[in-house]
Amino acid sequence: MKKTLLRAPLMAAAATVLSLAATGAQAANWSDTYIGYRFGTSFAEPFNLNDIKKNIFNFNHVSGYNYGSNFFNVDFLMSDKADGNGTANGGAQETYVVYRHTLDMAKITGMNLSFGPIKTINATVGFDWNAKADGGYNSKKRMLVAGPTFAINIPAGFLNVGLYQLWESQAKADTPRYHYDAHPMLNLAWGIPLGKETGFSFEGFANFIASKGKNEGGVDDTAAETNIDMQVMYDASSFIGAKPKTFKVGIEYQYWKNKYGNNSSGNPGAFAKTPMLRVQYHF
């Protein structure tokens, strides 16, 4: 009952922010949209001893307006038959959606919120949503996210540090939806040019997530989770005769320990160390 009462105002707040986001999108001062592809051969999934190949297509949009910004990303992940412990014919398919709306509190309040290395303070709210068909677990994650984001003052590019509260639930095949304990996450997101006029940039994110209480069985404790995804990208637009920052290629590496809160001790599939190739086309 308590969790139901808590989720109601959170959903109302999310609906309000989505309304603000739609208004902001109509009056965007700037935007960047791309379609991308990445590929790796050593993905891992909890309770699965196999190395998994995945082809991942994604759509990404980020935009800013007078009082904030929007971030939207959807990944379409297609695994080989090693995913789902080999029980899914032709492999698994997953859709994973991330949305964040950030409000610039300095612009909204008219106050100077910069101090030390902090350029400004933002308020962020959003959600994660996934659906996976793997012949076994069939994850259906739902998660609300809210908290402050601190924009760090750096010479070029951006570096954001967020401290968020997470409200996550999960439903798998033939199992009612289970709500974990609310828990915090420290998030870093960055995009930093590597030298002037080199065409190279260092981009990515890091999530450090506390334990979310008991797992779906209500018996075992979940583990603190670390997910670091970083890439070095090169602006190869000139090779296809396009304007700068249109076509990017690069290498990516993901370090994901205790994936989804599953303790990797005795469960090697919950610890992924995955190199990838990545391409992006911006329009």
Question: Mean pLDDT of residues grouped by 10 in the chain (283 residues)?
Answer: 46 50 65 98 93 97 96 97 69 96 96 96 98 86 98 97 97 86 98 94 98 90 98 97 97 97 94 98 97
pLDDT score at 28: 85
Q: Is 218 left (phi over 0), alpha (psi -120 to 50) or beta?
A: left
Query: How many angstroms separate the CA atoms of 68 and 181, rounded?
Result: 30
The tally of domains found in the chain comes to 1
Q: How many residues does the chain have?
A: 283
Domain with 98 in it: what CATH number? 2.40.230.20
Tell me the residue range of the domain where 229 lies.
2-282
pLDDT score at 9: 46
First to last CA, the chain: 46
Query: How many angstroms separate the CA atoms of 2 and 69, rounded?
Result: 32
pLDDT score at 22: 53
pLDDT score at 4: 46
pTM: 0.89
Q: Report whether 102 contacts 120 (CB < 8 A).
A: no
Query: How many angstroms separate the CA atoms of 166 and 241, rounded?
Result: 44
Q: Report whether 164 contacts 144 (CB < 8 A).
A: no
Give the closest residue to 205 by CA, choosing from 268, 162, 144, 246.
162
